[in-house]
Amino acid sequence: MQFSILFAILASTYMMAIAKRLPTLIQSFRYQSFFLSLATFLAARHENSVELLCVSILLFLLKVIAIPHLLLRIVRRIKANENIGLFINTQLSLVCALVFTYVSWAFSRQTLPAAGETQSFMFTVALSVILTGGFLMIFRMKALTQIIGLLVMENGAFLLAALVSGGMPFFVEISIFFDVLISMIILGIFVYKINKLFTHIDVHKLTELKG
């Protein structure tokens, strides 16, 4: 996988870490998914693999077109405040994302000491994407942001699987894509119902209902 594409995936991850508005976050996720789809397409062309080509097309259709469109439609339909709501400000969020990258790099040096530069950097990017996705789920207030965080973690897991095992079996990948799509539809309905009942989708406000 080319270094430039890995850098682009990492850069889009940093963009998500510092995003203040939902449309910006969704667009950054779209960029990340596009570069992941492009990397898969180039790998398919290099290996003459029809299965990888199908995976790259599904990645593009679902995570570059369908899911971002669905998320933006939810934002417009529920007329949610586009501000994400930050538990941690953007500057500190970027610092955290950079720390995740450094920790991932250090861990890759310990875990894969004999790996080449490309494999080591790919592992670093994959683990950094997973950690940043988890960060978005924990330190952002909107329910939609937590959904995106989960999707970002899935992107990182896909990249990690491509490195560790040479890619998941084709039918497993297909089933995961459809699971993601169905989950997105269910979560979209769930968020819409939350907003309809409580007039907001701020997770920290929903905790006030406990007790």
Residue 167 scores a pLDDT above 60? no
pTM: 0.81
Q: Which residues contact 54 (CB under 8 A, 6 or more apart)?
A: 170, 174
Given a contact cutoff of 8 angstroms between Cβ atoms, the answer to whether 152 and 16 are in contact is: yes
pLDDT digits (tens, 9 = 90+) for 170-184: 555 655 666 666 666
Cα angle, residue 181 at apex, residues 177 and 182 outer, rounded to 5°: 115
Mean pLDDT of 34-60: 86
pLDDT reported for residue 110 = 87
Q: Which two tokens stand for residue 41?
A: 């397409």
The pLDDT of residue 43? 81
